[in-house]
Amino acid sequence: MSELSTTGTQAPSHGHASSTGLDSRKLGMWTFIGSETLFFTALIMTYLIYKPVNAVAENFQDPKKYLGIELTTLLATLLLASSLTMVLSLAAIRRNDLKRFQLWMLSTIGLGLAFLGGQVYEFYHLYNYHDGPSLTLDSSLFGSTFFVLTGFHGTHVAIGVIWLLAVYVRGMRGRYSAENDMDVELAGLYWHFVDLVWVVIFVLIYLI
């Protein structure tokens, strides 16, 4: 097992405990996730409310005609796998195993980038659809709700990837250890959140 060098390692960083007994930073993250859950719930409810309206609209575009289950199943698999590698990365730093921390964190970043690449490919395909009218943000009610919902989620994934990159770089510099892993844990909480949101989107949009 590779041990973290003490050179350049910061002293353990412990946040102030809140009245609930939780670390204040962790409580802040849970509060943020709660607000983002409400945000995505509103977007998903908007999509579900307008789904039957889209079915009778003049410019109706059938989702089943445009959305390929093969690609999106792959994207869902990538994000689920990235949740596992994120767990392994956090577990590694808690063992002071820097090499495995870097390996699993880099794997998580790579899977996140692969997801974003797949989503860009899907959007490009829909905007340049060859077997009928293109599906765009303003082509139909379905197009509007679909791109807003999946686009906002993709933005959250991109933010998560940037955050994980920052954590990876700081980890390479010896900033984390078993006693100082809060940054890694907070990034992991956010990452698991965006993964879970995609599972909900995948089921409601692509499967139902």
Which pLDDT score is estimated for 56?
A: 61
Whether 151 maps to a domain, the answer reads yes
Whether 186 maps to a domain, the answer reads yes
Those residues with Cβ within 8 angstroms of residue 13's Cβ, 6 or more apart along the chain or in another chain: 180, 182
Query: Is 99:151 a contact under the CB 8 Å cutoff?
Result: no
pLDDT per position as a tens digit, 117-152: 999 999 998 888 877 778 888 887 888 889 999 999
pLDDT per position as a tens digit, 173-208: 989 999 999 999 999 999 999 999 999 999 998 888
Check residues 63 and 112 and name the one with the higher pLDDT.
112
Whether 48 maps to a domain, the answer reads yes
Would you call 45 exposed, middle or buried from its count of C-beta atoms within 10 A (0-12, 13-18, 19+)?
exposed
**pLDDT, mean of residues 67-96:** 94
Whether 140 maps to a domain, the answer reads yes
Whether 78 maps to a domain, the answer reads yes
Residue ranges making up the domain that contains 61: 24-207
Whether 6 maps to a domain, the answer reads no
- Domain CATH code at residue 65: 1.20.120.80
Whether 1 maps to a domain, the answer reads no
Distances from the Cα of 12 to the Cα of 176, 177, 187, angstroms: 8, 8, 17
If one counts the domains in the chain, the total is 1
Residues in the chain: 208
Amino acid at 146: F
Cα gap 125→17, rounded to integer Å: 49
Which pLDDT score is estimated for 98?
A: 94
Q: What is the mean pLDDT of the chain?
A: 86
pLDDT per position as a tens digit, 30-73: 999 999 999 999 999 998 888 877 766 656 666 777 788 889 99
> pTM of the full predicted structure?
0.85
Nearest partner of 37 among 48, 47, 29, 49, judged by Cα = 29
DSSP state of 78: H
